Amino acid sequence: MASDQTGRTTVGQGDITQQTTDAIVNAANESLLGGGGVDGAIHRAAGPLLLEECRTIGGCPTGQARITKGYNLSASYVIHTVGPIWRGGNRNEEALLASCYQNCLTLAEENGIQSIAFPAISTGVYGFPIEQATDIAVQEVTEFLKKAVTVHQAMFVCFSREDQFIYEKTINSYGKSR
Ligand code: APR
């Protein structure tokens, strides 16, 4: 398991639905009514009550986040965020992805969450280049944890070894460059 110098940000490979952190983050779409990828996996693992609660929320704009219970998941909460669809990089995608991480962590703080697991938001169906997305993820989470009050552990859960390698490389070089 790789981690940054503080040990508060770690990387692992696996299935985010199996994580035992207080909260796991879902890479959702604006309807919040489920989908494929990690969204589908989380809804399957959490059970139908998750969708029932999501229906009461009424959607979520790109870049923002909403919180629900975790139901059948080990995690007590699911924080749903909607990453940007990659359209070439000139449609504010980087800022929107950064705001996903910021808004998830802000919601976590507001709900007394101490540990949180993130998937690689927007890098699957939404096509965000993994290296650029990882730079944003590592920067936003590392900087937020420096000033966070309740959140003291963040884990990047990579589905593939390739992604894990990119995260580990990014975390290691991020620490050295500051
Ligand atoms: N655990 C961890 N990571 C996972 C899992 C899982 N069980 N399943 C998929 N992933 C990874 C993918 O490999 C990718 O690296 O999550 C990352 C995000 O990919 P997507 O799930 O495709 O999410 P995203 O690119 O943000 O696209 C969101 O896809 O599933 C739909 O409803 C969702 O419309 C939304 C869109």
Taking only the tens place, the pLDDT of each residue in 40-67 is: 999 999 999 999 999 999 999 999 999 9
Going by C-beta distance under 8 Å and a sequence separation of 6 or more, which residues neighbour residue 121? 25, 27, 81, 83, 97, 100, 101, 128, 133, 137
Q: What is the position in ligand 1's atom list of the atom closest to the CA of 121?
A: 26
Separation between Cα atoms, residue 126 and residue 100, nearest integer Å? 14
Separation between Cα atoms, residue 34 and residue 51, nearest integer Å? 7
Cβ of 97 closer than 6 Å to ligand 1, yes or no, is no
Q: Model confidence over 66-80: pLDDT tens digits? A: 999 999 999 999 999
- 22: annotated active-site residue: no
Separation between Cα atoms, residue 126 and residue 3, nearest integer Å? 27
Atom 30, ligand 1: residue with shortest CA distance: 36
Cβ of 163 closer than 6 Å to ligand 1, yes or no, is yes
Q: What is the position in ligand 1's atom list of the atom closest to the CA of 83?
A: 26
pLDDT at 4: 78
The CA 123 to ligand 1 mean position distance, Å, reads 7
Cβ of 25 closer than 6 Å to ligand 1, yes or no, is no
**Helix pair angle (37-46, 48-57), 10° resolution:** 120
pLDDT at 139: 97
Paired sense of beta strands 153-158 and 65-69, if any: unpaired
The CA 133 to ligand 1 mean position distance, Å, reads 13
Residue 177: pLDDT over 80: no
pLDDT at 2: 76
Q: Model confidence over 87-140: pLDDT tens digits? A: 999 999 999 999 999 999 999 999 999 999 999 999 999 999 999 999 999 999
Which position among 4, 15, 22, 39 bears the catalytic label? 39
> What is the overall mean pLDDT for the chain?
96
Model confidence pTM above 0.95:
yes
Residue 1: pLDDT over 70: no
Cβ of 29 closer than 6 Å to ligand 1, yes or no, is yes
Separation between Cα atoms, residue 15 and residue 79, nearest integer Å? 16
pLDDT band at residue 7 using 50, 70 and 90 as cut-offs: confident
pLDDT band at residue 85 using 50, 70 and 90 as cut-offs: very high
* Mean pLDDT calculated for residue range 25-35: 98
Cβ of 9 closer than 6 Å to ligand 1, yes or no, is no
